[in-house]
Amino acid sequence: MFRGFYTAASGMISQQRRQDLLTNNLANANTPGYKADRASLRAFPNMLLSRMGETNVGTQGIPMNDRVGPIATGVYMQEALPNYRQGDLRETGNNLDIALLQGTVPINEDTGTAGALFFTVENEAGELRLTRNGNFTVDANSNLVTSTGDYVLDTAGNRIMVEGTNFKLGENGVINETEAQIGISLIENPNDLEKEGNGLFSLENEADIIAVNGNTDVTYQLKQGFVERSNVDVEQTMVQMMSAYRTFEANQKVIQAYDRTMEKASNEIGRLG
């Protein structure tokens, strides 16, 4: 009986966490460069249920163990993985808005999934971070920075300085044809990335951040005056939220049914005895 409680409760917890994830996706539907998270649900290992008893052979009682069959033990949300699919581009007309349009990228041999391209930025602590949010600005020292103040880096890993906002950016990221070139990095296994908030991703081993400028196996295009929109599918997310709510509600009703059964067992059966 209690096993049923635990199974239904695990279903409620996993759907609550899935609902939180979907709510966060929906809240960032208008955040430039945001990558929607996907929930990965897994079942706990099944258990083999057996019935123990005994049978009499003559005057001798022999223990018996009859196999009933497998029983599920619940479900859990194993992890949340971002979907790195390219978002739509939105024209803003602002010179400081730069969208990264991903073209050809190599397929990771170990995972069978495609790599992902990012802008390379540096935070105040000097640590490398990655982002797809090209909603840039210029700070008081003429550095090209993200909306949260992280420095945009060039192909050599240096901070980029610009003369005001009236500059022209080539599709390869070169500023004013002869100045610095915006650095683009390839992550061969994007599932290794960790979200830090504000559109930033971190990688435990910075050596896995591969500069791709000049790499003929990778193609991309930078578009000035555009931003990449979030890749959240609002309609699909709403449907998934409703599904998660209905599943949560179904597990809740199962627990209520178990509770009523246990109440009868403790009150009515006990009184009859």
**Residues 125 and 61 placed together within one structural domain of the fold:** no
CB 266 within 8 A of CB 272: no
Backbone angles phi, psi at 174, to 5 degrees: -80, 130
**Residues 104 and 183 placed together within one structural domain of the fold:** yes
**Residues 99 and 199 placed together within one structural domain of the fold:** yes
**Residues 74 and 129 placed together within one structural domain of the fold:** no
Beta carbons within 8 Å of 73's beta carbon, 6+ residues apart: 3, 6, 7, 10, 43, 44, 45, 46, 47
Q: Is the pLDDT of residue 270 over 60?
A: no
Could you read off the pLDDT of 190-245 as tens digits, one per residue? Answer: 989 999 988 999 998 888 899 998 788 899 999 999 999 999 999 999 999 999 99
Model confidence at 108, in pLDDT bands (50, 70, 90)?
confident
**Residues 62 and 107 placed together within one structural domain of the fold:** no
Number of domains in the chain: 2
Model confidence at 76, in pLDDT bands (50, 70, 90)?
confident
- Identify the CA nearest to 97 among candidates 32, 159, 143: 32
**Residues 257 and 194 placed together within one structural domain of the fold:** no
**Residue 112 belongs to domain spanning:** 89-228
Could you read off the pLDDT of 16-62 as tens digits, one per residue? Answer: 999 999 999 999 999 999 999 998 887 777 777 677 777 776 677 77
**Residues 6 and 113 placed together within one structural domain of the fold:** no
Could you read off the pLDDT of 167-185 as tens digits, one per residue? Answer: 999 999 999 988 899 999 9
Give the Cα separation of 254 and 170 in Å (integer): 60
The pLDDT, as a whole number, for residue 268 is: 72
**Residues 138 and 178 placed together within one structural domain of the fold:** yes
**Residues 118 and 57 placed together within one structural domain of the fold:** no
**Residues 239 and 180 placed together within one structural domain of the fold:** no
Provide the mean pLDDT of the chain.
88
Model confidence at 72, in pLDDT bands (50, 70, 90)?
confident
**Residues 31 and 159 placed together within one structural domain of the fold:** no
The pLDDT, as a whole number, for residue 269 is: 64
Q: How far apart are the first and last CA of the chain?
A: 20
